Structure 1
Amino acid sequence: MNEEQRLQSSQVKASPSEKKPEKDYSQYFQSVYTPPSLKDAKKRGKEEVSYFDNFKIDPRFENLGAGRKFYIRTYGCQMNEHDTEVMAGIFMELGYDITDSVNDADVILLNTCAIRENAENKVFGELGHLKPLKLEKPDLLIGVCGCMSQEESVVNKILKTYDQVDMIFGTHNIHRLPEILNEAYMSKEMVVDVWSKEGDVIENLPKVRKGQIKAWVNIMYGCDKFCTYCIVPYTRGKERSRRPEDIIQEVRHLAAQGYKEVTLLGQNVNAYGKDFDDITYRLGDLMDDLRSIDLPRIRFTTSHPRDFDDHLIEVLAKGGNLVDHIHLPVQSGSTSMLKIMARKYSREHYIELVRKIREAIPNVSLTTDIIVGFPNETDEQFEETLSLYKEIGFEMAFTYIYSPREGTPAAKMVDNVPMEVKKERLQRLNALVNEYAAEAMKAYDGKIVEVLVEGESKKNPDVLSGYTAKNKLVNFVGPKSIIGKLAKVKITTTKTWSLNGELLEVVSGQEVGV
């Protein structure tokens, strides 16, 4: 790490043995941390993206974890899961061993999510549960990282209330974990290491991947969309894309290791490449290049309708190892509500985009995200969401009641929708989602599908389970030896959220089917 990078970071120390005074902690963040500001954040673009591909463990820290164990609890999205894989890789290179029990751990990290209030409350509740363990084991290190750590209000709350926490670090400086751990051990005081600098991309970070069948590959970081309800642009920073050669090399390496499926990750994944100023290269170009890799399945998440261009559709239509399942969050079926959400597209634009996708990929499976109960949502606007769901014929949706996030524009809006109305709307929407999901599954009755076998069923160890390319869960009886392989399964029973079938054969080679 060069000196300029070090100057971008600072440690805040607060003795856990002293009672925290009721005071303003903003002084600690004058050069390091800035609270969410839509006005300031929209000025992004002037800061140059710096690429670093020489990550390595400082020799001073090589045996830092000798005889110690780490535990990471992950909340939230696939991006957080992938960040956990990176942190686990760093821990292992430091000499730590992994444990699945907080009671055995010498370091406990909570990798947090800030997308909804309930997610934050779970973290604060877990910190409360860990306090007795800290009293029992004074040398235990407890850390909070991830998206919550990028919120000034959260950092202030931890500083004032949770003196069992030893370290807080953000989403932009995971690569500094060795320095943060060392500082926590040396000082025995709370270490806060949060960067407001958003422009770096760090390559060659070690990873301990979860499983050996599916892998996540981060292709970009951050989001510049600034939907009025969303905290992500503030917690994850500006959009910055990894270089295509680094991504392609990583995917090739995963294919060589025997992985069968790769999911490309980004907060706004189909904005990939928009920030390049030296080449014209977008997500469609990347997907086209990845098609030639000997890997059965490649998918991506999460996309934004605004950036889903014609070239990407053209490439996806080529098929091969590019799956015919697209998750395309709509959030609302009302143009007026979409405008308040700052989604930057209309109902009509979304419908036209789906028409283009289906024209190019007739058998595509579409899923989505929907928010109900947004501030001042009317009955008419909600009905438009229901009608859009029927018109598109989504096969599944993640549905949510709006949760205000401090620092976002929507948090300042007057909300005149009573909670009982929000809940009633969610129930009506979920009933529709269930109906359409069950109907979509019925089409598989008697069909032969290709399943990537992931392991034993969660409900029955004598049953295997896996997913089709369209992301449908399939359960069937078969030998454990085919876990990690592709199998042909004939569907015998359809349910709302899963399919039952009988094993026909194991697919040879890297052949790709339905």
Structure 2
Amino acid sequence: MNKTIHFETLGCRLNQVESEGAARFFTDSDFSVTMEPFTARSFDESVVLCVVNTCTVTAKAEQKARRIIRMLLKCCPNSAVAVTGCYAQLDQKEIMAIDERVCVLGGQHKGSLADLPSFLKKILEENPSITGLEISQKIQKIFDKENNSSEQNVITSPFRLATETFINHSRSSLKIQDGCNCVCTYCRIRLARGKSVSLDAKEVIERVQKLEGAGQSEVVITTVNISQYSSEYNGRKVRFAELLELILQNTQKIGVRISSLYPEIVDEKLASILENPRVRPYFHISVQSGSDSVLARMKRPYKIEAVYRATELLRKAKKNPFIACDIIAGFPGESDEDFDLTLKMLKECGFTFVHAFPFSPRPGTEAFKMRPMVPNYITDKRIAALEEFNKNSKTEYINSFVGQSLPAVCETVHRAKIFKDRVIIHAVTENFLHCQLNFSTKDSNLPAAGSEISVKILRPLQEAEKTGESDTLAVFA
């Protein structure tokens, strides 16, 4: 009986966390799980189910999801393909039209994946020769009940997909909040994930304690909108700053990395808590533009002054932190002057890295019909300017650590590749430098995946030297 489950995950850190959580339920039911992305040349007849966790941030993300679904149908001829995530929440019919072997579970009901392993195990035991099409049809009947449900406890079930063990990541993650109450004019995620919901503060603390007890050296706190985290603890209201303080007070040594911050929540109180040495000196701020007029058209809940203030406070809290941000280039009506303000803000705030996205008009959003549109060639030039900023800023940041020894976590074994007479292992420092360490194939004492090590920074890597996500050459300290 085939008992292999394959996961393909697109998009944000939340999707990565949810896929890992769903995978844990399958391994607990004695299924084998693979999470390394397939290629067009992959072929595996043992896979009985492929799970595709999709993204809807851009049209390209949806296009990539469709391409992966079609690829899996060819690579895994005996499997059903279950599609979930944000794209699945908004365009179920479009996805199901791809093939009869495709079944769809809306992203707001993703937590129901926890119930799938026992159901799948049962139908495989009843009929070991069942086809992928038959599996898909049976699963879709279950999914249809979930997709058509409006019960609040079902819709808010995403926190079920939690795990203390991770197949594809060396650092653990914990989702504490989902959904969003903002009305940003370009964003489709709020339509896909629904209203903001938060994991109870007591449950957050208990889950972090379990991760620490399982030997995890670090937890990445993940959210859709961290500024909307809201809970209660011992009769008092808890927002994110209070939650972070509680996590640190109720654990011993586990490091805490924050996946994303909104600028308006970075105040003196939060900054003082961030000074704790267990909080990693890496911050990602959701910015989108350096122009107040563009931010207003986006209906972002802050002005650019808040970004300047946030970066100032983060630098007071941590010495030379890695600070990244998101920027959308080519938003409708964005002028050259608007974009110049964005570049000015990036330089003056000292951002290390920019996740640059060209504006993608998303159906169902206010910005979909906004005019005037920025011509593609201008947007492309602005993206190129942001990439040039990245190249210079990242190199400058890495150079500021040359010769220093930094704590790091070794990445998972599958990211280690052998090149002739050497083994390359990747490790991530506390401040998010992706280090490449070279070893001889004769070395027998290589660091294990997930282990904590100390690395000495040598220099930035040249493009031809890079493997995977590495940007920094380092050695054991």
Measured after TM superposition, the shift of residue 211 of structure 1 is: 5.0
1:494 maps to which of 460, 464, 468: 460
Q: 1:117 to 1:354 in 2, by over 3 A?
A: same
- Structure-1 separation of matches of 2:282 and 2:176: 19
Look up the match of 2:50: 108
- Structure-2 separation of matches of 1:324 and 1:130: 39
The farther-off stretch of 487-496 and 325-334 is 487-496
Look up the match of 2:216: 259
- Structure-1 separation of matches of 2:233 and 2:195: 13
2:226 maps to which of 269, 278, 289: 269
2:425 maps to which of 450, 453, 464: 464
Instruction: Give the counterpart letter for 1:352 in structure 2.
Output: R
Give 5+ residue unaligned stretches, structure 2: 36-42, 124-133, 440-444, 463-469
- Structure-2 separation of matches of 1:312 and 1:250: 22
Look up the match of 1:315: 273
Look up the match of 1:209: 166
Q: Are the equivalent residues in 1 in contact too, given 2:52–2:84 (CA < 8 A)? A: yes
1:223 maps to which of 180, 189, 193: 180
Report the count of equivalent residues: 432
SS state at 2:356 partner: strand
SS state at 2:258 partner: strand
Measured after TM superposition, the shift of residue 89 of structure 1 is: 2.3
SS state at 1:70 partner: strand
Instruction: Give the counterpart letter for 1:88 in structure 2.
Output: A
- Structure-2 separation of matches of 1:307 and 1:466: 30
Q: 1:457 to 1:94 in 2, by over 3 A?
A: closer
Q: In the alignment, is residue 150 of structure 1 matched against residue 89 of structure 2?
A: yes
Q: 1:170 to 1:359 in 2, by over 3 A?
A: same
Instruction: Give the counterpart letter for 2:46 in structure 1.
Output: D
- Pick the structure with more helix per residue: 2
- Structure-1 separation of matches of 2:137 and 2:471: 52
Look up the match of 2:348: 391
- Structure-2 separation of matches of 1:401 and 1:459: 36
Instruction: Give the counterpart letter for 2:450 in structure 1.
Output: G
Q: Are the equivalent residues in 1 in contact too, given 2:331–2:373 (CA < 8 A)? A: no
Q: In the alignment, is residue 351 of structure 1 matched against residue 308 of structure 2?
A: yes
Q: In the alignment, is residue 200 of structure 1 matched against residue 159 of structure 2?
A: no
Cα displacement string for residues 158-217 of structure 1 (whole angstroms, at most 9, x for unaligned residues): 34x323244211222233333686897495585444255566346665645225741011
| Residues 22-421 of structure 1 aligned to structure 2 (within 5 Å) | 67-99=2-34, 102-132=44-74, 137=78, 140-151=79-90, 154-159=91-96, 161-177=97-113, 178=115, 185=135, 188=138, 190-191=140-141, 192=144, 193-194=146-147, 195=149, 200-201=156-157, 205=161, 207=163, 209-210=166-167, 213-273=170-230, 279-292=236-249, 293-317=251-275, 319-421=276-378
Give 5+ residue unaligned stretches, structure 1: 1-65, 505-514
SS state at 1:229 partner: coil
Q: Are the equivalent residues in 2 in contact too, given 1:354–1:392 (CA < 8 A)? A: yes
Q: Are the equivalent residues in 2 in contact too, given 1:284–1:312 (CA < 8 A)? A: yes
Measured after TM superposition, the shift of residue 339 of structure 1 is: 0.6
Measured after TM superposition, the shift of residue 269 of structure 1 is: 2.0
Q: Are the equivalent residues in 1 in contact too, given 2:108–2:193 (CA < 8 A)? A: yes
Cα displacement string for residues 309-328 of structure 1 (whole angstroms, at most 9, x for unaligned residues): 432212102x2211121111
- Structure-2 separation of matches of 1:349 and 1:77: 24
Cα displacement string for residues 368-425 of structure 1 (whole angstroms, at most 9, x for unaligned residues): 1111011121111011111111111111111110111111111121243111111011
Q: 1:274 to 1:98 in 2, by over 3 A?
A: closer
- Structure-1 separation of matches of 2:475 and 2:285: 31
Q: Are the equivalent residues in 2 in contact too, given 1:263–1:299 (CA < 8 A)? A: yes
Look up the match of 2:436: 475
Look up the match of 1:14: none
Measured after TM superposition, the shift of residue 150 of structure 1 is: 1.2
Q: Are the equivalent residues in 2 in contact too, given 1:269–1:301 (CA < 8 A)? A: no
Q: 1:196 to 1:495 in 2, by over 3 A?
A: farther
TM-score of the two chains, using structure 1 as the length reference: 0.77
Instruction: Give the counterpart letter for 2:112 in structure 1.
Output: R
TM-score of the two chains, using structure 2 as the length reference: 0.82
- Structure-2 separation of matches of 1:363 and 1:186: 51
Instruction: Give the counterpart letter for 2:309 in structure 1.
Output: E
Q: 1:91 to 1:444 in 2, by over 3 A?
A: same
Q: Are the equivalent residues in 1 in contact too, given 2:354–2:390 (CA < 8 A)? A: yes
Q: Are the equivalent residues in 2 in contact too, given 1:441–1:495 (CA < 8 A)? A: no
- Structure-2 separation of matches of 1:133 and 1:486: 37
Percentage identity across paired residues of the two chains:
24
Measured after TM superposition, the shift of residue 273 of structure 1 is: 1.5
SS state at 2:64 partner: helix
